[in-house]
Every structure is written in structure tokens, then in C-alpha cells.
Structure 1
Amino acid sequence: MWPVRKTVAVSNSPRTGSQTRQRTGLAVAGLSLGTSLNPLNSSMIAVALVVLREDFRLDVATVTWVITAFYITSAAGQPLMGRLADRFGPRKLFMLGMGLVAVSCALAPFSPNFVFVCVARALMALGTATAYPSAVVMVGTLAKLADTTSTRPLGRIQMANTSGAAVGPVVGGLLVSLVGWQALFLINVPLALAALLIVRKAAPPDERREQGKIATLLRDSDIPGILAFTGGMVLLLMGLLNALPGSRWWLLGGAMVLAVLFAWRELRFDRPFLDLRLLGRNRPLLMVYLGFTVFSGVYYFAFFGLPQLLQEAAGYNPGVVGVLMLPLAAMSVVVTPLAVRAIDRFGVRRVLIAGVVLLTVAAAALWLLTASFAVLLVLVLTALMGVPYGSVSIASNQGLYLSAAPEDRGVAAGIFQTCRYVGAISATVMIGIFYGTGVTQENWGRMVLVMLGLCAVTFVVSLMWRERKAA
């Protein structure tokens, strides 16, 4: 049980205060571990594609569905999980999600065919999608209990996200080479169970949330709105990813139709899944979403485009490329706690703008790769790119927290993560277009120009962001 804060002797006791801070720190650690599972599994599956193709006798197009299923479920599921966290409690939802991850990953190695592998990946994505929204909803309570600012726990959660993506290819390569693709699922079982048990033990109980008859809760849950949003997001991402060759425009057209139906529904329903009227009045939150989407596009241009350039144009083998890309993630982890302290001192907006300026400088410096692929130059450039990623990411996270109303932070955090996926997928589509005529230094130079244009958009949006005024 948590200490009773109403009791003067307990709340004033230094020992009890220290115990409370330790428990909140442990709770943040559990939330961070759960949050890291989504980016970890997003990145480490890349090294298993060849093995999966051989084991299930698949072609290149078919095997990519193991990635597509995860991306689509994550992007569409995060806002829904966020709304559930807002309504029924983040602690319960987080533990339920980690339980789903553990069960699906324990059964996945016994999949009789590739379809079951993709289903297991989708279930894993749905389970991990509960983590970040639940963590954001709990941040306020944890920060108060630890007597600190919200940037501290948010910074640790952001570091977990970055670290998960960074170590994914390395961990995945070791597991696949030593055990096989099955190990990529099995490794999640102890991690998910550890996160579940830590949060169960250390996180404070959920505040009083909605209760009542299941029929009433379902009636008030805006099921048609949720289905329209989820369906539209799935069709949009499938269209962007060209998941069904020859049907891209049909998928995008269907997404537009569902988007119109979703807006019509939400504007008419008393308790909408996503209050579009409120969102329309909340300009700071819209600016956070727009800025983070465009920023993610710039980042993933480098994250996905640069390794291909180093392999095909520079001739480095995949192992060397992994080492050359490591400074990007490592530097972002180092920068994040520094950015947290800067936010506490200078404010979110100044750190955000400074980070975008650094992003522009780093993107411009990547043009040097049109002239040289020297190892030292590549290491410096990837490290330089990690600096704005760490600072802009945590500033955007904090901007989201400040811009969203407390009762809507779960769904707001879910949409925030969807913005990351939309930016990443848009970047991969554009990379495919630029590299369509060949992975060359000339085409890389053109991509850098596009990155600089996106940086300019991000800068303008950052200037427009202001902290939301309390109601």
C-alpha cells in the first residue's frame, strides 16, 4: 500500500518521503521497460526477415507483412489504448497490455505458418501500444509523489524509447544468429512480465474511473467513431506502405471516406472518442502533433535512408553500418537528461526551438556525404543527428503533456505516437521514390534538400507553439 498522505506524521517523515520517491522511481522504471518494448520490437525484426523467408519459403513482398502488421496495429491502436487508459485507469490497462504481450510472444514460436506469426506480431503491437499512453497518464501522479517536475519521468520514458530502438538491431542479430527468429518473441516474455510485476507493485492505484453496467459503458464508448478512426488509419497506412500493390489509390480513397464519416460522427456524438471541437480549440496540441509528425519525417529520412546509402553506395557491410549508425541513438540518450534540465531552466518552447535549429544544422551537414564516406565523418554526422533527436523528442513530449487536458492525456499520447508512425512511414515512402533510380550520392543530396525543407516547416510550427493556458 502507498503511504497515506493525509496523515501528517507520515507525510512529514523523511523516511516515508524517501520510500515514496524510491517507489515512484521503481514505477517509472517499470513503465519505461514496458514502453521500450514497442520500439525494440519495431527495430529488431529487421534482422530476421531473411531467416523468416527461408523458414516459411516466402518472397520479399510477403515477408514484409511481419513489419507492416506491427506498424499498422501500433499506429491505429495507440489512440484507442490512450482513451481506455483515460476512462478505466492506466495501471490496469498497462498490466493488461503486458499480459497480452507475454501470452502472444510465448505462443508465437509455435506458429504453424507465417499468418500466425503476423497475428502474433499484431497482438504484440496492441499490447505494447498500452504502455506509452498509460505512462503519460500516470506521469502527473508520479511526479507529485516524487516531488519533482513532470519532465523527469517523461525524460526517462523517452530514454527508454530511444534505447529500445537503438539496441534492437544488435539484440535481434544476436538472438537470430544464436537461437533463431523464435527468440525475438521469447525475449519479450520475461521483459513484459517484469514490467507488469514492477508496475503492479510500485505504481499508485488508479484514481476512481468510470464504472457501471457493461451495456452502458459500451453505449457511451463511441464504438462507431472508434471503428471509423481505426479503419481509416489502417487504410491510410496500408496505402502509404503500398501493402496491396495495385490498390494504393483505392486504399487512400477509402481512408478519406472513413475520415469524413469519422468527423461527422464525432461532431454529433455527445461523448466522442476524439472531441474534434475541443481539439480545434486546442491550438497548442495541434501544433505539437504537426511539428512532431514533420520532425519524425526528417529523423526517419536519416534513420532509414542513411544505412542504405552506406551499404550500397559506400560499400560498407551491414555490421559496419550498424556501428556507424550507433552514435545517432547513443547521443540522443546522452542528450535527453541534459534537455530535461534545460527545460526546467529555460522552458519547453526555447528548448524545442533550439533543438529544431540544431536539427537543421545536422540535416545540412549530411550533405557532406555527397563528397565523402570517410568513417570519421560518418560517425560525427550520425552523432550530430542524435543531438536534436534527443532534445526535440523530450521537448515535444513535454509540450504534449502541457497542451493536453489531464482527462485527455491518454488519447492525446496515443495520437502523438501515431504521429511518429505517420512521419516514419511517409519518410520511407519518399525514400523509395528518391532511391527509385538508384542509391547514389546524387539522390542523397536531393533527399537532404527535402529534409531541409521539412526542417523549415518544423521551425515555423515550433515558433507558433505556446503553452496552453489553464482553463
Structure 2
Amino acid sequence: MTSAVTGAFDRKLIAPMVLGSILNPVNSSMIAVALVPIGVALHAQPAATAWLVSGLYLATATGQPVVGKLVDRYGPRNLYLAGSALVGVAGIIGLLAPTLWVLVVARVLLGLGTCAGFPAAMYLIRRESERTGVDSPRGVLTTLSVSAQTIVVIGPSLGGLLIGVAGWRAIFAVNIPLAVACVVLALVRLPRPAPPATREPLDVLGIGLFAGMLTTLMLFLMSPAIGELWLLAITVGCGAAFARRELRAAEPFLDLRVFGGNAPLIATYGRALLAQTAAYAYLYGFTQWLEAGRGLNATQAGLILLPMSLLAIGVSTYTGRREGFRAKLLVGAGGQLAVSVLMLRLDAGSPVWILIALSALCSLPQGLNSLANQNAVYYQADPARIGASSGLLRTFSYLGAMVSSAATGVFFAHGADTAGLHSLAVFLIVIASLLLVMVAADRSLSRLKSK
């Protein structure tokens, strides 16, 4: 890899890094305003349309660390190209899908196809840091966070606009030009892969056990009930077998001895799970209530979330170049708690200005939590495992998204009404309180410095 200026970050890499990283979050969030119109068009209940959310997260949560491991071993270029092509195929399937379950297949393919973008970007940042000798590319990390993390909150506004102009199928079709752009940028700008550093065979058994553990856990979270406890039993069995396998394998898929000895990194994963549980419950639950409980259409609901989108970008941009992790996370967790409490005051007659004010307040946790957790992983992870470590960050984030999806399904079992929203708010108060306590108790954050 070369740069036009010796010792400077190769800025040619920024465009493919950013575009590849936003494919997953933009598809995660655009669907929020499309669930109701898709359900109406295809005569599907909320419990069925929830699979459009969960299918993508199930594929991504399982695939991110797997692809991250492959990026660590083989480099990002070929994996980035394959993933981008799969995103284009998924966009075509979604555009033409005749039934809900074909749409679910398209969403699963989107989840798999978007797995390469974020691990590839983190890998390239680390490689450039090693090449240039600059150990803290805060500006590049901030650019990645602003584009890839806060795009989640732009998605509903973009989705509402696309649905208003061309119908809900447009949120699938938009992936076709995005995928083409990714392929072109990768061919032109990403470095060609070097021969792998190791010839050890890939830990296929470990990957399979990991996938089985996550899949059964997420299937249980989709419909938590006493009769589904057998899924948790399989989760525990796969988890135990996975741990045994990884501790004994010569070249494990995930070296649990390294991760297990890195308590600050494990804490970051736990914070990501809690933060994203609250963030996605707000994104999906509040948005569905705006349409079904407050009576707004998809475009109006997207516009209500626009202040959150714009202010979250501003928060990330302003704070991203500043050192410190603990203060950002304390403010982010406190913001989530405040938003959750205020949701208890909403009803079907709440004026629009209150909804907009709540959206604006939500920009603090949206702009701070993802930024701080992403940057913490960069400095806490073993550089040789940055792809797998960043992939695991997304896995825990999507576990949080799955928990939020399960909670939304439980509290909105009979529709996204105000009573269900208030029950969801109580759940989020508990989650935000746990996050606040966890951040306050983690003294390692005060010692974590980017130089």
C-alpha cells in the first residue's frame, strides 16, 4: 500500500471504507419506516414483518466476526468485493420479491453482504497506522463513526423519503447503485491482497458452533416463551462446545484466551449490547408508534427523526477529535435514560413539537455511544485481531438490536399503541440505568488514551 505523501494516511481509502461501512447501518434503519407499509401491502402482521429486521441482524451478527477473521487473514479487498456484489443481488431480489418471505431472504443476503465493510475499514485504519507510525488516527476514526454509526438515524428519514417518492420497494432498490459504487471503488482503490501470513486451515467447526450458538439465541429472542426454552438449551450446548473447541484449537476462530484476558474489551462489548438495545428499541419502537399510535405516515415519521439525525452527526463530529471515553459514555447513557423517562409522557395526542424535542434529545446517545465504543475497541483490541474484534463489536451491537426487537414484539403484540410504548419505555429505563452503572464503574476508561 502506498500513499502520495509519505507518513500520511492514504486518503484514497476513505471513500471505499466509508461507503462499505454504511451499507449495513443504512439498511438496518431504513426498514424502520417501511414495516407498516410492507405489512399492509403484503397482508402481514407485525410479528411476521419483524423478521425483516431480525433476518438481517441474525445474518450480520453471525457473519461479522467470521468475515473479520477472514479479513485479518486474507486482507479486505476480495471480501469487500464479494460482499458488495451480494448486496446488489439482494437489492434486485427485494425489488422483485412477490411475498414477505422472499423479502426476508433478501434481508438475510443484505446482512451477509454487508459484513465486510466495517472489519475491512478497521483493518485498513490499523494497517495505515502501522505504515505511517501515527498511532491515533482520531480524525479517520471519527469520519468512520460519523458515516457508519450515525447513518443509522439518517436511515428512517431517507427511507421515508424513498417510500414517499417511489414506494417501499425503493429501500431495496437503492442497494443496487450503492453496490455498484462499492465494487468500482474497491477495484480502483483497495490494495491487492498479500499471501496469507498463515497456512493453518480455517476453524470451520468453531465457526459452525459460534453460528449455532448465536442463531438459536436469536431465534429464542424472536419469540421468548417457556415452550421455546429448548432453543436456549441448544445455545448453552453450542456455547460450551465452542469454548472447548477454541481453547484447544491450534488456530482458533476466536482466541478466547486473548479475549478472556482483556476485561476492558469485554466491557466495551457489554456496553455496546446495552447501548444498542436502547438505541434500536427507540428507532424501531418509537417509529412504529409514530405511525400506528400517533397516526403519522412514513414520510412524516421520518421527518420527526430528522433532528436526531442531524444533531447526532454534529455531536459525533464535535466530540470525535477530543480525547476521553468515560465522559462521552456517561453523557450518552444519561441521555438514553432521559429519553426513556420522557417516553412515558407521550400519548396519541402529544403535540408534534414534543416529538421533535424528544428526537433532538436522542441525538446525544446516538452521537456519543457508538463513537466511544468503536474507538475504544480500536485501542483495546490486539492489532493482529482488529478485524475479528471489530466484527465482534458489531455482533454485540446486533445482539442488542435483537433484544430490542424481541422487546418491541412483546410490548407491541397487539399493535404499536400508547400502552405498549409506555411498557417499552419502562424496559428501556432499566437498560439505560444498567448502562449508566456499568460506565460509572469502569475505571479503565479513564486510563484509555488515544495519543
Task: Give the TM bin, normalised by the shorter chain.
Answer: 0.7 to 0.9
Shift of 1:371: 11
Range with greater deviation from structure 2 (157-166 or 53-62): 53-62
1:266 counterpart letter in structure 2: E
Aligned partners of 2:292, 2:38: CA distance in 1, in Å? 23
Aligned partners of 2:267, 2:286: CA distance in 1, in Å? 28
SS in 2 for 1:369: coil
1:17 aligned residue? 5
Of structures 1 and 2, the one scoring higher in RCO (CA 8 A, sep 6+) is 2
1:225 aligned residue? 206
Matched, 1:138 2:124: yes
Match of 2:286 among 296, 306, 309: 306
Aligned partners of 1:333, 1:309: CA distance in 2, in Å? 24
Instruction: Assess if the C-alpha contact under 8 Å between 1:241 and 1:425 holds in 2.
Output: yes
1:42 counterpart letter in structure 2: S
Matched, 1:201 2:182: no
Taking a change above 3 Å as real, the CA distance of residues 454 and 192 of structure 1, as seen in their structure-2 partners, is: same
Structure 1 gaps of 5+ residues are 4-15
RMSD, aligned CA: 3.3
Aligned partners of 1:58, 1:438: CA distance in 2, in Å? 12
SS in 2 for 1:342: coil
Instruction: Assess if the C-alpha contact under 8 Å between 1:355 and 1:392 holds in 2.
Output: yes
Range with greater deviation from structure 2 (419-428 or 53-62): 53-62
Taking a change above 3 Å as real, the CA distance of residues 272 and 61 of structure 1, as seen in their structure-2 partners, is: same
Matched, 1:337 2:317: yes
2:372 aligned residue? 395
Q: How does 1:39-50 map to 2 (within 5 A)?
A: 39-48=25-34
Aligned partners of 1:351, 1:57: CA distance in 2, in Å? 44
Taking a change above 3 Å as real, the CA distance of residues 376 and 49 of structure 1, as seen in their structure-2 partners, is: closer
Which structure has more helix as a fraction of its residues? 1
Shift of 1:379: 1.2
Matched, 1:414 2:391: yes
Instruction: Assess if the C-alpha contact under 8 Å between 1:284 and 1:468 holds in 2.
Output: no
Aligned partners of 2:37, 2:158: CA distance in 1, in Å? 15
Aligned partners of 1:368, 1:62: CA distance in 2, in Å? 29
Instruction: Assess if the C-alpha contact under 8 Å between 2:16 and 2:185 holds in 1.
Output: yes
Range with greater deviation from structure 2 (160-169 or 439-448): 439-448
Range with greater deviation from structure 2 (81-90 or 67-76): 67-76
Instruction: Assess if the C-alpha contact under 8 Å between 2:294 and 2:347 holds in 1.
Output: no
Match of 2:76 among 90, 93, 98: 90
1:405 aligned residue? 382
Instruction: Assess if the C-alpha contact under 8 Å between 1:101 and 1:128 holds in 2.
Output: yes
2:24 aligned residue? 38
Range with greater deviation from structure 2 (202-211 or 446-455): 202-211
Range with greater deviation from structure 2 (158-167 or 225-234): 158-167
Taking a change above 3 Å as real, the CA distance of residues 178 and 362 of structure 1, as seen in their structure-2 partners, is: closer
Structure 2 gaps of 5+ residues are none
Q: Deviations over 1:62-107 (max 9, x none)?
A: 5554443222111111111111111111233222221332344346
Matched, 1:284 2:264: yes
Aligned partners of 1:107, 1:441: CA distance in 2, in Å? 35
Aligned partners of 1:401, 1:158: CA distance in 2, in Å? 12
Instruction: Assess if the C-alpha contact under 8 Å between 2:80 and 2:117 holds in 1.
Output: yes
Aligned partners of 1:312, 1:181: CA distance in 2, in Å? 17
Shift of 1:455: 2.3
Q: Deviations over 1:357-416 (max 9, x none)?
A: 343344444444369722222211211111122112111101111111011111111111
The count of residues paired between Structure 1 and Structure 2 equals: 446
Instruction: Assess if the C-alpha contact under 8 Å between 1:162 and 1:329 holds in 2.
Output: no
Matched, 1:428 2:408: no
Compare CA radii of gyration and give the structure with the larger one: 1
Match of 2:273 among 282, 293, 303: 293
